[in-house]
Structure formats: structure tokens, C-alpha cells
Amino acid sequence: MYSESLGGKITIAMFVITWVLCLITFVYGTIYLYRMTKCYRPEKRWGRFIPFSIFYPSFFNDTGNYYRVKFIRNSVLFVILMAVMFGTGMINEMLSP
């Protein structure tokens, strides 16, 4: 990584901050996923074997739907942070001579 100029140091700082935020969102996403999968409706427990069941609120009770929404929001935030981290790395590489 390029770190000789002020711009290089700023992009490295942004990269590290974004990396830490990605790690935090990954941990929270894992917790939300675990809590969500414990809250299936009794008649729809077979839905846990279908990966796209997280997009259907009818598979979960109220607590499960609460964690399902938190998990989906957290996943979107994780993807955005990964894109920012990728973009920051690209900008850093463009600054190198």
C-alpha cells in the first residue's frame, strides 16, 4: 500500500477503519443469524434448510422477524462497507507513483 503522501495515509486510515467496521458488522450479523434461526414457526421448521427462507417473514415468529430484519440490514451494511474498502484500496493504489 502506498503511504508516503498525506493522501496515502488518509486512504490507509480509511481502509483500517472500514475493515474494523466490517469485522463488527460480521460479528453482529452472525449473532442475528443465530438468533433468527432459533425462531422458526413450529409448522415451518423445514424452512431452515432453504437458504432463501430469510426473505419470507411467514417462516418466523415475531422475534424471528425482528432478527431477520436486523440481519438483512446488517448484511446490506456489510456489503456497502466491503465496497468502500475495495474502493479505498483502489484509490490508494492509484496514488502510488
Residue 66, pLDDT > 90, answer: yes
Q: Indicate the residue type of 25.
A: T
Q: Is residue 58 in some structural domain?
A: yes
Q: Between 47 and 59, where is the model more confident?
A: 59
- The domain in which residue 44 lies consists of 22-86
* C-alpha–C-alpha distance, residues 90 and 84, integer Å: 10
Domain annotation covers residue 82: yes
Residue 34 lies in a domain: yes
Q: What is the pLDDT of residue 94?
A: 86
Tell me the H-state helices in 1-97: 6-37, 62-95
What is the Cα–Cα distance from 90 to 1, expressed in whole angstroms? 10
In a domain, 46, yes or no: yes
- pLDDT of 51 > 90? The answer is no
Residue 15 lies in a domain: no
Q: Which residue has the higher pLDDT, 30 or 93?
A: 30
Asked if pLDDT for residue 1 goes beyond 70, the answer is no
Reported as a pLDDT band with limits 50, 70 and 90, residue 21 is very high
Domain count, the chain: 1
Which pLDDT score is estimated for 3?
A: 67
Mean of the per-residue pLDDT values for the chain? Answer: 90
Please state, in angstroms and rounded to a whole number, the distance separating the CA atoms of residues 9 and 26. 26
- Domain assignment present for 7: no
